[in-house]
Amino acid sequence: MEKQFIITAAEGLHARPCTLLVQAVTPFSTEVQLSYKGRSVNMKSIMGVMSLGIPSGSTITISSEGTNADKLLAKVASVITTEGIGEEC
């Protein structure tokens, strides 16, 4: 399963939104990847997510497989929209 999001926060994905996203997915046992411009990182890794340097206006893809992948993606979508990080494509 995967979902795409557009990052709308003026600062892009800096430390605070990255932390919120990592905290949202960490409780899940399911693997989760964040992809941007052909690079994918483990979304449970704050350094991995920050290393992508995702600016405002970028489209990212979040993918997950396995048990609870649907719940994990729903949680990510909720955090991204309610925290003003971005919006679902």
18 belongs to the catalytic site: no
Classify residue 10 as exposed, middle or buried by CB count within 10 Å of its CB (0-12, 13-18, 19+).
Answer: exposed
Residue found under tokens 């920050």: 50
In sign, the C-alpha dihedral spanning 11, 23, 43, 71 is negative
- 22 and 72 in contact (C-beta within 8 Å)? no
Catalytic residue among 14, 41, 55, 69: 14
Catalytic (active-site) positions? 14
